[in-house]
Amino acid sequence: MNKKVKIKRNWKVPKGQPLTAFDEKILSFQEAGCLVPKNSLIKTPQQIEGIRRSGVINTGVLDLVAREIHPGMTTLEIDKLVYEYTKDHGATPAPLNYYGFPNSCCTSINDVVCHGIPSADEVLEEGDIINVDCTTILDGYYADASRMFIIGKTTPEREKLVRVAKECLEEGMKACKPWTFVSDMGLAITRHAHKNGYTVVREYCGHGVGNEFHEEPEVEHYATRKGAGMLLVPGMVFTIEPMINGGGWETCGDEMDPTEWIALTEDGEDSAQWEHTFLMTEDGLEILTY
C-alpha cells in the first residue's frame, strides 16, 4: 500500500471571504503536494511601495560606493560611506548589530564568499575583486542588494568570474516566472555556472525580504531539477543572490573571525556574487533595487 503524502497546508482562505481565482490556483498546487507560500508572504500594494522606496536608497548607497571605491581604500571607509548615506536619507543599515554583526554592510574580497566584516586593517589593492552587500530599512521596509567591484586592473580569470556571476543572476531572473518553482531558477543558475567551469555555493541562499530582513522562502541557487522548492506567485518579494566559486563549492569559516560571520572558499579560490531584491508580478520579475 502506498504511503499517503502529508500536505503542508500553508495557503488558507480566510473565513467569510469568497474563494478567488488566485486562491483556487494556489490551492490546486497545494493539493498536488507542492510547497506553496503562506498568505503573509503575498505583499500588499502598500508594502510593495514601501519596499520600493527602501530600494531607491539601497541603490543610491551602492551607486555611491561605485563612485568612491579605489585602490588604497579600507573596507571600513566603505562601511562609513554606507552608514552616513543611509542615515542621511532617513533610513537604517539593517546589518548593523544584526545578531551581533558589527558593521553597516558586508565587504567580501577575493576568496571571501560572503559576510566579510569591514576593517581599518583591510586595504583594497590593485586587482582585488570585492562584493559590497547592503540592506536598507526605511519606515520598517527592507531592501537588499549587492554588487561586485573590480579594483583597478585585475586578471582575466577574475574578470571572467565577476562577469559570469552576473550572468548567473541574469539567467536565474529569466527562468523565474510566476507559477514556477525556486529550483527552476536554481537549475538555470547551476547550468550556466557549470558550463563556464564554476560551481554554485550551496550553504548560503537568497531569501524572502520586505517586512523583515529574512523571510520565507529559502531561495537556493543550486538545483538539479525543476519543480522543487516553493512555488513563486505574484506578490512575493525575495532576493536572488548566487555565490559563484572559481573552484569547488564548499565554504569554511575564517579562523581569524571571532564572530564566526566570515565565509571563505574552502580551497582558497575566488568567489563572486551579485544580488537584487525582486517583486514577482503577473508578467515576471520587477527589480526593486535598481
What number is the average pLDDT over the span 254-280? Answer: 95
- Summarised one tens digit per residue, pLDDT across range 108-132 is 999 999 999 999 999 999 999 999 9
What number is the average pLDDT over the span 20-26? Answer: 97
What number is the average pLDDT over the span 91-95? Answer: 98
Specify the higher pLDDT residue, 43 or 258. 43
Residue 278's pLDDT is 98
Rounded to 5 degrees, φ, ψ at 160 are -65, -45
Q: Is the pLDDT of residue 259 over 70?
A: yes
Coil/strand/helix, residue 26? helix
CATH of 34-287, one of 3.40.50.410, 3.40.605.10, 3.20.20.70, 3.90.230.10: 3.90.230.10
Rounded percentage of the chain residues whose pLDDT exceeds 90: 94
- Summarised one tens digit per residue, pLDDT across range 178-232 is 999 999 999 999 999 999 999 999 999 999 999 999 999 999 999 999 999 999 9
Specify the higher pLDDT residue, 201 or 4. 201
Cα 100 from chain centre:
20
Q: pLDDT band at 6, cuts 50/70/90?
A: low
Residue 1's pLDDT is 37
- Summarised one tens digit per residue, pLDDT across range 151-177 is 999 999 999 999 999 999 999 999 999
What number is the average pLDDT over the span 78-97? Answer: 98
Q: pLDDT band at 4, cuts 50/70/90?
A: very low
- Summarised one tens digit per residue, pLDDT across range 56-72 is 999 999 999 999 999 99
Q: pLDDT band at 105, cuts 50/70/90?
A: very high
Mean pLDDT of the chain: 96
The model's pTM is: 0.96
Domain residue extents for the chain:
34-287
Residue 14's pLDDT is 87
Burial class (CB in 10 A: 0-12, 13-18, 19+), 192: buried
What number is the average pLDDT over the span 12-40? Answer: 95
Q: Is the pLDDT of residue 2 over 80?
A: no
The CA–CA distances, whole Å, from 41 to 209, 210, 211, 213, 235 equal 9, 9, 9, 13, 8
Burial 152-190 (b: 16+ CB within 10 A, else e): eebeeebeebbebbbbbbebbbebbebebbbbbbbbbbb
Residue 208's pLDDT is 98
